[in-house]
Amino acid sequence: MKKSNTSLWIFIIYIIAQLSAIVGLPIVMPFVSDGRTPQEAYLAASGWWMFIAFGITTFAALYLSSKDKQYFKTPKGKRSPVLAAIVLGIAGFFMVLFGQGAAGYIEQQLGIEPGSDNTAALVSVADMAPVAIIAVVLFAPILEEFIFRRIIFGGLVDRTNFFVAAAVSSLVFAAVHMDFTHILLYAASGFIFAFLYHVTKRLITSIIAHMLLNGFVMAVQLNMDKIQEFIDQMERISNMQ
């Protein structure tokens, strides 16, 4: 299998997965509608279909890439040892948090209110169908790193340079999330993911950082009430002293 064909097929199945809800939601809705309002049923169906579609697509992408022995030899250069790539992936999570913090500060200076509509929508879906968390934390990072880092960044970096390839891939990554108010926030994350991939030449590095970021965001958002209650409790204790 030629490398270009592998990328093309992975890109095609990713697009199909993104559009598949048009067909998938009507199929799933009858199974999740009992005892729910129409809005709740829609969110639950969205979560289950996200899990199904992204799950199938992720395994298909992994299968296709495993059949191409040359696929992960892009970009050019010596690849880091696997252990070093994993460690940098974990460290990269904190790099992305710092990058998002800096991007968030810039957005606030520009008068942009914090809070992503895309994240809020995913949290609403996960509330109704917790299985969607698997799609957000595991499947989505793998697929997005294949598309935006391996295919787009990897396809450009050897023809141009790191900054051009990282800028293009991170902007496309940001645009696909359809939250243009916070495009800087998503672009910053995408740029750092590209940097991690470029440094190690191993996609596992950016995948790990991406998974940890999504997992952290989902954990915080889904437990926001408990976190706020804990903060309020600590403030009351502090005021009593």
Catalytic option among 40, 113, 145, 177: 177
- Contacts of residue 178, defined as CB under 8 A and 6 or more positions apart, other chains included, come to 118
Would residue 112 be called left, alpha or beta, if left means φ above 0 and alpha means ψ between -120 and 50 degrees?
A: beta
Catalytic residue among 144, 145, 198, 210: 144
In this structure, the number of other CB atoms found within 10 A of the CB of residue 75 comes to: 18
The three-state secondary structure class of 35 is coil
The question of whether 144 is a catalytic residue gets the answer yes
Q: Is 180 buried (19+), middle (13-18) or exposed (0-12) by CB count in 10 A?
A: exposed
Q: How far apart are CA 141 and CA 212, in angstroms?
A: 9
Residue 114 per-residue DSSP state = S
Question: Which candidate, 18, 13, 43, 50, places its Cα nearest to that of 29?
Answer: 43
How far apart are the C-alpha atoms of 166 and 153, rounded to whole Å?
A: 6
113 is catalytic: no
**Count of beta carbons in the 10 Å neighbourhood of residue 59:** 12
Handedness of CA 170, 155, 95, 61 (dihedral sign): positive
Active-site residue list: 144, 177
